[in-house]
């Protein structure tokens, strides 16, 4: 069975030669292009020698995402794409048994993108295209891209999504109520804890409206959410501290069901844990940071959440 490397970057040698001494290449400069990795610009025979040494039969060649340039004028982006595609296409034509490729196209202009994809596949022998997962914040499920996907299907093109910079996650955080998702989850945790423990176990009135916890679109401040959560958990602690352990198998009517007090306590515990995990994940996505709950610099994990 052939060994195929499906993700093999090429920095066009003509680009490298033009910009290394401070010049430009179709307006691009030496600030991009993965120039710190000379192997991406080596001549085909040297690339093939490295492939042979690694036991690789074929490379699927693509430019790196620095050459997408969806933010530029579409005509200029197509010019850059054509230059990249023809240079890599020549490598493929000269070594058809060792190289194939995926072309880059100007995705900010659907008509130009389709035209470049058709040219690359019909004239240069490409198998498909490599693209980002959004175009200047517009994700590919937007109806404007429907004609493009129809062309992809018609051509039988392989599509390789190579993310770069801010991904579609950031582009979608303004959709589907995501901006307030952490706030909604905190409201939900408070509502659930009050209903099951404060009201259910504590035998007090239940005024919860669960749907309102997710329907809220008001951006609640961090301090207000934290205060609400702390107040809720204080009331939960108070009920549990006053609980007679001999009553944990007694039943309470909660959410229309008869459950034991012990069941209610375990439910709130696992429910709180699950949604806390979601909040942590959303926080990591929004901040692009490791929250560093543990310091492992010494080789021994030390918790940091109390710091």
CA dist 214 and 275 (Å) reads 13
- pLDDT tens digits, one per residue of 202-249: 999 999 999 999 888 888 888 999 999 999 999 999 999 999 999 999
> Residue 306, Cα to own-chain centre: how many angstroms?
30
How many other C-beta atoms can be found within 10 angstroms of the C-beta atom of residue 237? 11
Confidence bin at 14 (pLDDT 50/70/90) = very high
Q: Burial of 129 by CB count in 10 Å (0-12 exposed, 13-18 middle, 19+ buried)?
A: buried
Mean pLDDT of the chain: 92
pLDDT band at 282 (very low <50, low <70, confident <90, very high): confident
CA distance 247 to 107: 65
Apex CA 14: angle with CA 8 and CA 16, to 5°? 70
Share of the chain above pLDDT 70, in %: 95
Q: Give me the domains of the chain, ranges plus CATH numbers.
A: 4-167 (3.20.20.140), 178-303 (1.20.120.450)
Radius of gyration for the chain, computed over Cα atoms and rounded to the nearest angstrom? 28
pLDDT band at 277 (very low <50, low <70, confident <90, very high): very high
For residues 81 and 105, the answer to whether their CB atoms sit within 8 Å is: yes
In the prediction, which pLDDT does 174 show? Answer: 63
User: Model confidence over 109-161: pLDDT tens digits?
Assistant: 999 999 999 999 999 999 999 999 999 989 899 999 999 999 999 999 999 99
Average pLDDT, stretch 44-69? 96
Question: DSSP H helical segments within 138-177, as ranges?
Answer: 146-155, 168-172
Cα distance between residue 157 and residue 135, in whole Å: 19
Within its chain, how far is the Cα of 144 from the centroid?
21
pLDDT band at 21 (very low <50, low <70, confident <90, very high): confident
Supply the pLDDT for residue 128: 98
pLDDT reading at 171 higher than 70: no
Comparing 22-31, 66-75, 165-174, which segment has the lowest mean pLDDT? Answer: 165-174
């Amino acid at each position: 069975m052939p060994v195929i490397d499906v993700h093999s970057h090429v920095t066009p040698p003509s680009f490298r030669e033009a910009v290394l001494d401070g010049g430009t290449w179709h307006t691009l400069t030496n600030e991009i292009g993965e120039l710190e990795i000379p192997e991406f610009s080596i001549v085909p025979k040297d690339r093939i020698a490295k492939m042979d040494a690694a036991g690789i039969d074929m490379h699927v060649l693509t430019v790196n995402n620095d050459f997408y340039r969806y933010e530029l004028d579409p005509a200029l982006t197509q010019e850059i794409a054509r230059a990249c595609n023809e240079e890599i296409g020549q490598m493929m034509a000269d070594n058809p048994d060792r190289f194939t490729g995926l072309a880059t196209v100007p995705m900010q202009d659907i008509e130009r993108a389709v035209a470049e994809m058709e040219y690359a596949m019909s004239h240069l022998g490409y198998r498909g295209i490599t693209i980002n997962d959004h175009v200047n914040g517009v994700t590919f499920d937007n109806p404007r891209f429907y004609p493009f996907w129809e062309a992809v299907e018609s051509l039988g093109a392989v599509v390789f999504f190579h993310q770069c910079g801010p991904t579609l996650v950031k582009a979608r955080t303004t959709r589907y109520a995501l901006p307030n998702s952490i706030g909604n989850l905190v409201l939900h945790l408070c509502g659930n804890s009050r209903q099951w423990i404060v009201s259910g176990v504590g035998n007090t009135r239940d005024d919860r409206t669960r749907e309102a916890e997710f329907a809220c679109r008001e951006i609640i401040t961090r301090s207000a959410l934290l205060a609400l959560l702390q107040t809720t958990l204080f009331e939960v602690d108070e009920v549990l501290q006053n609980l007679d352990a001999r009553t944990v198998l007694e039943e309470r009517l909660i959410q229309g069901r008869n459950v034991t007090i012990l069941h209610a306590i375990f439910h709130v515990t696992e429910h709180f844990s699950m949604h806390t995990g979601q909040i942590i994940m959303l926080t990591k996505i929004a901040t692009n940071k490791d929250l560093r709950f543990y310091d492992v610099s010494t080789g021994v994990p030390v918790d940091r959440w109390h710091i």
